[in-house]
Amino acid sequence: MNEQELHKQIILSHYKEPQNKVDSLPEGYLIQKGVNPSCGDELELYIKLNGDTIEDVKYNGSGCSICCASASILTQEVKNKSIPKVISNSHKFEQMLKGEEFTEDVFEDAIAFKGIANFPARFKCAFLPWKTLSDLLTKKE
C-alpha cells in the first residue's frame, strides 16, 4: 500500500469508527464549540485538563469525512501532552495542511492529512478541530 492509500485508509477508518466520540459533555470536562458556518461542520470538544496537561479530549459533532476524522484523530494526538506542546503541534498541523514546511515526527495518525495541501477547499474542514482546541487552550494559557 502506498503512502497516499495508507493515509486514505487512516482517515476513512476514523470517519467510519470515530474514537472518543460521545453524545454529551462528560462531567469535569471543559467545552469548546467550533463551526464552519458555510458548509455546516459543527463540533463540540470536551477537554479535561490537569494543570497544564491535557488529560483527555472527547468530542461530539457532525460534518464531512475530513472534519470528523480530524476530530477523532485529534483526541488521540493530544492526550497527555502539555498545553504549550499542543498549541505548537496545532501550528505545525496548520503548516502541514497548507503545504508549508513542518516537523513531521510530532504526528501519529494526523500525518494522514498531509495530502490536504492539494485540496485547499478542505483546509477548513481538517483544521476545525485543531482550531477549536487552540481557541480554548490559548484562553487558558
Residues in contact with another protein by the rule CB under 8 A: 4, 7-8, 11-12, 15, 37-42, 62-68, 115-116, 118-119, 121-122, 125
CA gap 2, 114 in Å, rounded: 14
Distance of closest approach, residue 35 Cβ to another protein, in angstroms: 9
Q: Note whether 81 and 53 are within 8 A (CB).
A: yes
* 61/92 with CB nearer another protein: 61
Distance of closest approach, residue 9 Cβ to another protein, in angstroms: 9
CB proximity list for 12: less than 8 A, separation 6 or greater: 65, 69
Identify each DSSP E strand in the chain by its residue range: 30-36, 41-50, 53-62, 81-82
* 32/70 with CB nearer another protein: 70
* 38/50 with CB nearer another protein: 38
